[in-house]
Amino acid sequence: MNEQIRHVMKVAERPPVVMVKGEGSWLWDAQGKRYLDFIQGWAVNSLGHSSPVVLDALHAQSRRLINCSPAYYNEPMARLADLVATASGLADVYLCNSGAEANEGAIKLARKWGARHRHGAFEIITMDHGFHGRTLATMSASGKPGWDAMFEPKVPGFRKVPFADIEAVKRAVTPSTVAVMLEPIQGEAGVFVAGDDFLRELRRVTRALGILLIADEIQTGIGRTGRMFGYEHAGIDPDIVTLGKGLGGGVPLAALVAAEHVSCFEYGDQGGTFGGNALMAAVGCAVVETIAASGFLDDVAERGRYLHDGLQAIATDLGHGEVRGRGLLLALQLKNRDAAKVSRSALDRGLLVNAPRPDSLRFMPSLVVSCDEIDEMLKLLRPILEHS
């Protein structure tokens, strides 16, 4: 094992297992041990491991065209842009490879719009505990505790306010403000919902002030919350939306989506070698078509309620705290700060759950997880929490 991973750069603490195979809600390691996966690549494998939908799209497209370079249009790029524009009601879609890249694009687009339409305004109000990625600008935009002191100097132009505090947003606005950027549910922070009233008020205020609203839907988008986009629960329409994770169902695919009045990039402003490549875009089309099909999102919402109720029953029985989140993005508040230990014990017993903070577990199963698999997860989790 040590020899096998010798040259892998150590940027994350990983358990001493090497994963070799995945199918649906299950993963296998090199020793043949099976794990019930309620992390799914951090809410990435929206249709489960190696979904036939993803495999078929990869297979069909790879025999036709993989990458013709971003210098040319390709069919899946155009089709996915169409699907995302139709689903969101927004106008223009730029395809890229990671959530951080999509958010970098959103920041650049907002700055360009500010230069053109708000006398050079460039500052973006973001939220404490928010997470927007690990590039320099997206780390600067994020409000993750401890990050302010890292990799100095940061990219300037971000002003943080407490999450979901409309008065704090209003106080933070200056003539330099161009946008407010936030996650409808803060995922990495531990699954905290912004609240529909707050989002509606934020939309009203940003519109009244003539500044942009950017929704980072990288974790919440493409069906995760039981709606196509997390902001739909509040009935608002952001000016810019970013997507990633579940959009590709496991392959690297992300998108920057802009309303027509904001979409002001000119040739050369944005680009990247792999952006919009035919192979990843074809997978995105298959994933979005599957999730947009009639009844799919109702099932996500229903299984979300089932998981919520099962977690709540354990929490009530064992004296743990609330269950937070929406759809199939949920967290369980633990009574002790032992989430990392619980997550390690779960791994030992063949269950993968994530601990985004010392006192919370996060559950992000595939969107096609079955009620039987949810029951099995709860059966594995209960004794671990009984002994924690």
Residues with catalytic roles: 131, 216, 245
* Least distance (Å) between residue 267 CB and ligand PLP: 25
Q: Do residues 113 and 262 lie in contact, with contact meaning Cβ atoms separated by under 8 Å?
A: yes
Helices (H), 260-370: 278-292, 296-318, 339-348
Instruction: Please work out the total of residues on this chain that contact ligand PLP, with binding judged by CB under 6 A.
Output: 15
User: Which residue's Cβ lies closest to ligand PLP?
Assistant: 99
Among 199, 218, 257, 380, binds ligand PLP (CB under 6 A): 218
Q: Smallest distance from the beta carbon of 386 to ligand PLP, in angstroms?
A: 31
Residue 351 CB-density burial (10 A; 0-12 exposed, 13-18 middle, 19+ buried): buried
User: Using the rule CB under 6 A, which residue among 114, 244, 249, 276 binds ligand PLP?
Assistant: 244
Does 51 bind ligand PLP (CB under 6 A)? Our answer is: no
Smaller CB distance to ligand PLP: residue 220 or 345?
Answer: 220
Looking at beta carbons only, is 100 or 124 nearer to ligand PLP? Answer: 100
Q: How far is 250 from 255, CA to CA, in rounded Å?
A: 14
- First vs last Cα of the chain: how many Å apart? 29
Q: Is the peptide bond before 16 cis (omega within 30 degrees of 0)?
A: no
Question: Contacting ligand PLP (CB under 6 A), which of 45, 61, 219, 277?
Answer: 219
Q: Quick one: 92 exposed, middle or buried, by C-beta within 10 A (0-12, 13-18, 19+)?
A: middle
Within 10 Å of residue 32's Cβ, how many Cβ atoms?
8
- Per CB under 6 A, does 183 bind ligand PLP? yes
Residue placing its CB nearer to ligand PLP in the complex, 22 or 143: 143
For the bound state, the minimum distance from the C-beta of residue 33 to ligand PLP, rounded and expressed in Å, comes to 26
Sheet of 19-23: strand order equals 19-23, 26-29, 34-37, 351-352
Q: Residue written as tokens 């039981």?
A: 226
User: Smaller CB distance to ligand PLP: residue 99 or 190?
Assistant: 99
Strand partners, 158: 124
Which of 99, 143, 221, 248 is in the footprint of ligand PLP by CB under 6 A? Answer: 99
Residue 130 structure tokens: 């928010």
Stretch that binds ligand PLP, among 128-136, 281-289, 302-310, 338-346 (CB under 6 A): 128-136
Q: Choose among 258, 251, 235: nearest CA to 102.
A: 258
Amino acid identity for residue 255 in this structure: A
Residue 75 CB, nearest approach to ligand PLP (Å): 25
Which residue's CB is nearer to ligand PLP, number 24 or number 246? 246
Residue 307 tokens, joined: 């998981």
Q: Which is nearer to ligand PLP, 245 or 320 (CB)?
A: 245
Q: Which is nearer to ligand PLP, 125 or 384 (CB)?
A: 125
Q: Which stretch binds ligand PLP (CB under 6 A): 32-40, 182-190, 277-285, 336-344?
A: 182-190
Question: Residue 94 CA to chain centroid, in angstroms?
Answer: 17
For the bound state, the minimum distance from the C-beta of residue 120 to ligand PLP, rounded and expressed in Å, comes to: 27
Are 248 and 279 spatial neighbours (Cβ–Cβ below 8 Å)?
no
DSSP letter (8 states) at residue 39: S
In the chain, what's the furthest Cα-to-Cα distance? 61
CA-based nearest residue to 238, from 219, 253, 256: 256
By CB under 6 A, which span of 67-75, 131-139, 150-158, 376-384 interacts with ligand PLP? 131-139
**List 57, 100, 211, 364, residue binding ligand PLP (CB under 6 A):** 100
Region 23-42 residues binding ligand PLP, contact defined as CB under 6 A: 42
Give yes or no for residue 188 binding ligand PLP (CB under 6 A): yes
User: Can residue 216 be called a binding residue for ligand PLP (CB under 6 A)?
Assistant: yes
Near ligand PLP by CB under 6 A, which window of 58-66, 99-107, 114-122, 221-229? Answer: 99-107
Angle 52-62/278-292 helices, nearest 10 degrees?
Answer: 150
List contacts with ligand PLP (CB under 6 A): 42, 98-100, 103, 131-133, 183, 187-188, 216, 218-219, 244
